[in-house]
């Protein structure tokens, strides 16, 4: 029986492609036991506003060069309130904001001080909204060792994967021969060809947080994605 596994660092309220990657997998591994990088997607994402793209960022303290994502702490208390206010200010007139804002905003309540735990909470909550049933686990449950390629391979082996799904950025470092020797196929995600939908503001932007898609299309969100529509459907 085939089994698809995807492995990726957590992001804050990621774009729709991130959730398509999750939906395409049978098991999605949150791989946050790697170095935290500043000015990345770990603690911020973009939304569409009347004045263009806007970053919404969770302030994270970087205390050492080798600090892991799962060790990284948020250093302000009021970030959640500010983000709710920003989302409300920009999406309150979106067609499906009223139907989904309570479910989305509930994810901002009683949050952890660790960015990884915050991200995972949002990822799981948004998967529920989108109807994605993929199993999500923490890489630390797998006790991985070795260099980057060996860890990815070991995760796939321990999860009995027949296919490893990964994004195109991995082409710069992934050792395909390692996976081939173990009989594990590598499936490259294709993020092209997404259909546009009616956003509250123009010009259209694909790379914004998935919350934009949810607030603007509601239950029809699956129709603007690839694998959520094919594999999981909605609740």
pLDDT tens digits along 19-56: 999 999 999 999 999 999 988 999 999 999 999 999 99
Whole-number average pLDDT of the chain: 95
CA dihedral (18, 22, 84, 36) positive or negative: negative
If you compute the radius of gyration of the chain from its CA atoms, what whole number of angstroms results?
18
Q: Which two tokens stand for residue 103?
A: 């479910």
Contact 209, 14 (CB under 8 A): yes
Residue 4 has pLDDT above 60, yes or no: yes
What's the pLDDT score for residue 234?
A: 40
Nearest partner of 159 among 34, 70, 32, 26, judged by Cα: 26
Q: Compute the distance between CA of residue 206 and CA of residue 157 in angstroms, rounded to an integer.
A: 34
Q: Which two tokens stand for residue 31?
A: 């791989």
Taking the model in full, what pTM does it have? 0.95
Per DSSP, the three-state class of 13 is coil
- Residue 233 binned pLDDT confidence (cut-offs 50, 70, 90): very low
Q: Compute the distance between CA of residue 20 and CA of residue 8 in angstroms, rounded to an integer.
A: 13
Q: What is the mean pLDDT of residues 48-70?
A: 95
Tally Cβ neighbours within 10 Å of residue 126: 25
- Residue 231 binned pLDDT confidence (cut-offs 50, 70, 90): low
Name the H helices within the chain.
16-24, 79-91, 97-105, 115-130, 148-158, 176-181, 210-217, 227
Kind and range of the H or E run holding 61: strand 60-61
Per DSSP, the three-state class of 233 is coil
SS3 per residue for 124-176: HHHHHHHCCCCEEEEHHHHCCCCCHHHHHHHHHHHCCCCEEEECHHHHHCCCH
């Amino acid at each position: 029986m085939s089994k698809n596994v995807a492995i990726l660092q957590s992001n804050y309220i990621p774009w729709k492609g991130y959730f398509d990657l999750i939906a395409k997998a049978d098991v999605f591994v949150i791989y946050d036991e790697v170095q935290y990088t500043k000015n990345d997607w770990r603690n911020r994402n973009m939304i569409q506003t009347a004045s263009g793209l806007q970053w919404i960022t969770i302030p994270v303290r970087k205390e050492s060069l080798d600090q892991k994502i799962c060790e990284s702490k948020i250093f302000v208390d009021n970030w959640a309130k500010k983000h709710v206010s920003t989302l409300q200010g920009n999406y309150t007139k979106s067609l499906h904001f009223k139907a989904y804002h309570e479910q989305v905003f509930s994810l901002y309540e009683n949050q952890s001080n660790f960015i990884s735990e915050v991200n995972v909470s949002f990822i799981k909550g948004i998967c529920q909204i989108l109807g994605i049933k993929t199993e999500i686990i923490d890489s630390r449950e797998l006790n991985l060792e070795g260099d980057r390629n060996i860890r990815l391979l070991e995760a796939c082996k321990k999860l009995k994967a027949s296919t490893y799904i990964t994004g195109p950025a991995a082409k710069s470092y992934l050792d395909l021969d390692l996976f081939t020797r173990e009989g594990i196929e590598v499936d490259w995600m294709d993020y092209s060809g997404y259909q546009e939908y009616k956003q509250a503001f123009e010009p259209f932007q694909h790379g914004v947080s998935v919350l934009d898609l949810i607030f603007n299309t509601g239950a029809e969100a699956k129709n603007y994605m690839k694998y959520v529509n094919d594999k999981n459907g909605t609740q």
